[in-house]
Each structure stands twice: as structure tokens, then as C-alpha cells.
Structure 1
């Protein structure tokens, strides 16, 4: 994901978010009352790859400059790092690199970890409405798993626009961060907030969601809103860049500027288990 070290601004709790079984912020969209216009349920044989019609698998590390954060994982398209489990889930797993793999790294000669980064860029995007991802998120020192979105406007980041639906960093296993990044608010100046889970994110599935409506974005976990962003809360309201199509990304990063290095306590493999992804409202698939 793009660079950030710490969230610098925590906004007030949002009150206008649709959750599971609650009324949405904009009744005209009513995403919970509709059939998703796109969904990924991950039914398929164990070891199968996610559908290529919807998902891209990005690879590498060195040429991507450590994915902007000096990260230690080399993203692969191997089934060991991203595949279905045969029981309706997608597994995205960070693992120690195999002996002798010699995967080129930005911060050192070879990357000590492998992982996966899946995107829907060019295939599926949300214009307005709701995205829901039900997942179990890995926790541990040096890990930074993320569920997030990038804009399809063709502008270089941060003008591209980024919505981090869920990040769980390093040694904060019960804290879920939601953040927005744009032209004048990015990296450590990203605008966001957080909420606390009743137990570690790795212990149970939760539904991480964003409602993306005209001039309003609201974050929730399990239907409970915790953050709402509008143009008035930006450094400059004219820097609102979210009235566009945005695609989804799922990844498990290891090391880097925010979580720090993994250690002997870091789980290996560290797996994000995704039950489903659903887009409601307007977009394309």
C-alpha cells in the first residue's frame, strides 16, 4: 500500500453509515436492500486461483521500491500465497521465502518473505454505494494486512485517491484503522480514525465496509460506523477526489515503515482469510 507511518488526524465518529440491518446514509442507494452488482464468494476447489475475470495478482518488490513503504515481502502469483481453500474462502498468506529463492528486494539483496497482492483494477470498480469484505485478518509483529481501494482516474498517487477500508498494524491486534489519502492529505497526514475489536482481528471474521456516497465516505465494522469523511474535513475541500470509480485491493504486507520488522513471534504463515467481497450500488464488473 502507499506510504504512511501513523495516522495524524482522527475524525469524529460517523453517524450516517448504513450497517448490517440498518438504514443507509443515502436512502436512494439502499445498498443493503439490493442484490450486489458484483460479488466474490470464492467457491471452488482447494488450491484454485481466484477468478482471473475479476482479479489481478501483482508481483515483485524491488521495482516497486518496496511498495512505497520499504516492505520486505515479494509478492508472487503462487498458490502458496493466494488460493482458495476449498470451503468458500480466499487465503492470502505471507510466508518466509523458500531457501534459495533469491527474490530481489528494495531494502536488501533478497526479500525474506513472500506474500500476495490482489486487485480488481481494470475489471471491477465501485462508483457509489457500498463495499463489504468479510474476513479474518492476521495479526502479529511486523504485519500490515489491508483491505483498500484506489481511484481509476489515471492520476499519479496521491491524486489518484485512496480509501483504506481496514488496516491492522503490527502489535495492535484489536485496532482497525480506516483512512483516506488524497492530493494534500497522504502518508502520515492521511485523514482517518480507528475502532477497537472485542478480540484480536485474527480470532474471528468481521465485516469491514465503506459506504461511498456523493461527498461522503463512512467506515464501519460489523455494521457499526466509526468514521465519516466529507469535503469540509479536508485541508482544502477542493481536494476531494472520491467522485470516481475505485477498484479494490487485498494484501498482506510484511515489514516496512509503519509495522516495523517481523520477529520470532510473527506467525508464519500469516493468512488473511476472505469469506466474501460484495459491491452494492453503482459501478462496473
Structure 2
């Protein structure tokens, strides 16, 4: 049943500070069950209870798939990027969609993690471009089983594009090829060549030139690997001693390879890698994908006290095979946290406090970038009789904003 309830005729304007809508202060709603199961705050069909997240506050609970809440008079003063942040809890995880004007514009999905309990709260967020105007703001339950405390719309800090590679060529002033077949600490099977497995080609699906890193089941030059005669060749492109960055947003638009035994990655290592080694240098994995999980990509951090099977780990489900389409993989990195995004959907945050529960925060220094396609190794396992080659990682661009 759809009910119209007017609570506020004011217009809330996003300036430098956040505009916050408390979950229980909706203007319109759709709820699938009769009555207020929580018995608090209102007497309609939305389920509201006292929250343990703050004193004298409330949250919406008992949320079922397909239910929604809407809030009137959100004014966006200027077109730009905005952070959409929600305060949520769930013992199992869920997904919410945020939209404008009754679904006319979908801003994005908020991936709600398993927070551990109905009253253990976390923030989830994503970034969306919003045109200037006045809107109703909607929150839609793509899946049920979560609680909702508030939603904020925050004007994002201005970002300056400080460096980009659009891959009209392979720029030797920015990148080098790292070569060899010693296993790279993971028992990988490929030999990384000196550029023979990297090309630039035009891709009509993105209407631009793209970098192609190709893994092949071949060894035309009799390369030797740690296990003997190499079976595979591939590419590892690095910006070490050429381009490094401290803080900001780092992103790449890519279409991934997908087959058993493949392991593409977009990641970063600390500038002090040559002097202190790994994991003391720190590692930020912006995107990793392993072929036995066809629709999943991963985020991680490795450092002193949390290397290898790191607890700083997150997963994003693309909802389709990783090789189906291009997606934008990004981090936003500051002195206090790293946040991961796929297509501007925020799915993982690691704070300084999270890291320091396990070891040392080593991320207050510049990091350099890596793009590679590994074959085999301890995590993805080896290719099998279902695996197909060649496999290609397509990179439309890499961009850094600060």
C-alpha cells in the first residue's frame, strides 16, 4: 500500500556540509506488511524501533525486499559528484538502491555488509554525479534483512586530475615492463616478457584506444621459469621510479580476462619497496580477480602483521562474468582510510584503526602502480582442461585525482 504523509515542507540544500535525512522522517513509503512492528515514533505501516546507535533515536527495521522510503525537497545547488552515505546494520548483508524522483534517476547501489548484529551499525557509501535541481530522494530495498538509520548527501571535495594515461601508446616515461618467471612469490606459471604481450588497439565498445595485456599458452623464445620450461607468457607493467602518488582517488576502467587459472590485478606498492621489501612497503590491491570466481573481484591490503592471508579483504559481485563488460575499479585513499569502489559503488573501507588492530599502517608515503595478468599460482590454481587462451586484460585508462 502506498501512503502519502507530509512532514516537512522545507528544502534541504547540500552545501559544504552533509544534508542528513533520518530514516524515520520519510515523506512517502511502501511497506509490504501492516502495522508498525517496532511500535515506535509513528502509527503507519513502516516498522520503526528505538535504536542503540544513538541516544533518543530511531531506526527503520524489518525491511523486506521491494519496500521503499522517500524524502522530499533535496536541493542540489550545482552539478557535480556527491557522496551518498547510509548508516545501516544487518546480520546477513543486503543491497539498497538510492534514486531520485521515484526512480527516474538511479544514483547507485549501497552494498550492505554483514555487520554482525541488527544493532551493530556501519556506514556504507558510494559516489554519484547529480545534476543541479530539487528532488525527492528514494531508498529502495533490493534485498531485505537490514536496518536503516539515516542517509546523507555530501558535496564531494573538488578533485583535480593530476595524472592520467589514456593509452594511445605505451608511455615509457610512465611505465616499465617487469620481466621474469621466478614465480613472483606465489608459484605463478607465466614468464613476464619485455613488452611482447602488450599492445594498443582501438575498442569500439568504449570508442577509444585501450591497452591490451595478453596471457598466452606459448613460449616462442624458450623462456625458463622456476619449474623449468615456461608454459605461459604474459605482461607486468609497473610505474616504479617513474610515477607514484600519495593519497587521492586512483582508478582504472578495465575489462577483465576470465578462465580457470587466470589472475589479473591492478595494485600499488610503497615507494620504499626497494629498501625494505614486501610486506614492509605495504600493498594496496585495487582490483584482483581469480578465474574460479567468474563474477567476483576483490580488494585487499598487505603490510607488516597482515600479509598473505590478510584480514583486510573485501569482495564485490559484478553480477555478470568479469569479461562481459568494462567496469571502473577505484580506491579513495587518505591518511586515515582506504575505500574501494566498483562503478562508483562503495563496497569496502579499511581505516587506520582497522589496520592497526593487526599491524602497522604504512600508507603515509607515495605508492607506485602495477597492472598485470598472472597465470596460475597459490590462489587461483593452475589452468585446467576448461581453460582457454589467449586471455586479455583491456585497460581503457588509469587516472589519479587529488
Misfit runs of 4+, over 2 Å: 10-28, 234-238
Over 3 Å counting, the alpha-carbon distance change for 1:25 and 1:103 in structure 2 is farther
Over 3 Å counting, the alpha-carbon distance change for 1:14 and 1:243 in structure 2 is farther
Cα deviation per residue 1:199-227 (whole Å; 9 max; x = unaligned)? 01100000000001111100010000000
Establish whether residue 276 from structure 1 lines up as the match of residue 397 from structure 2: yes
Residues 18, 211 of structure 1: 8 Å contact kept = no
Q: Cα RMSD over matched residues? A: 2.3
Cα deviation per residue 1:68-112 (whole Å; 9 max; x = unaligned)? 100000000233x1111145100001001235x321111x11110
Establish whether residue 73 from structure 1 lines up as the match of residue 190 from structure 2: yes
Over 3 Å counting, the alpha-carbon distance change for 1:27 and 1:267 in structure 2 is same
Whose Rg is larger?
2
- State the partner residue of 2:163: 38
- State the partner residue of 2:264: 145
TM-score by length of 2: 0.60
Residues 127, 346 of structure 2: 8 Å contact kept = yes
Pick one of 338, 354, 365 that aligns with 1:244.
365
- How far off its partner does 1:16 sit? 6.2
Establish whether residue 220 from structure 1 lines up as the match of residue 336 from structure 2: no
Partners of 1:194 and 1:115 lie apart in 2 by: 25
User: More relative contact order in 1 or in 2 (CA 8 Å, sep 6+)?
Assistant: 1
Pick one of 85, 88, 96 that aligns with 2:209.
88
Pick one of 3, 7, 19 that aligns with 2:127.
19
Over 3 Å counting, the alpha-carbon distance change for 1:163 and 1:140 in structure 2 is same
- How far off its partner does 1:140 sit? 1.0
Pick one of 370, 373, 388 that aligns with 1:267.
388
- How far off its partner does 1:234 sit? 2.4
Over 3 Å counting, the alpha-carbon distance change for 1:234 and 1:24 in structure 2 is farther
Partners of 1:145 and 1:24 lie apart in 2 by: 34
Over 3 Å counting, the alpha-carbon distance change for 1:69 and 1:238 in structure 2 is closer
Pick one of 268, 287, 294 that aligns with 1:166.
287
- State the partner residue of 1:3: none
* Secondary structure, counterpart of 1:21 in structure 2: strand
Residues 266, 372 of structure 2: 8 Å contact kept = yes
- State the partner residue of 1:5: none
Residues 251, 398 of structure 2: 8 Å contact kept = yes
Pick one of 174, 180, 191 that aligns with 1:54.
174
Aligned pairs, number: 257
Partners of 1:276 and 1:15 lie apart in 2 by: 30
Greater strand percent: which structure? 2
Over 3 Å counting, the alpha-carbon distance change for 1:74 and 1:190 in structure 2 is farther
Residues 144, 170 of structure 1: 8 Å contact kept = yes
TM-score by length of 1: 0.84
Partners of 2:125 and 2:317 lie apart in 1 by: 17
Cα deviation per residue 1:251-278 (whole Å; 9 max; x = unaligned)? 0000110011102322211100000000
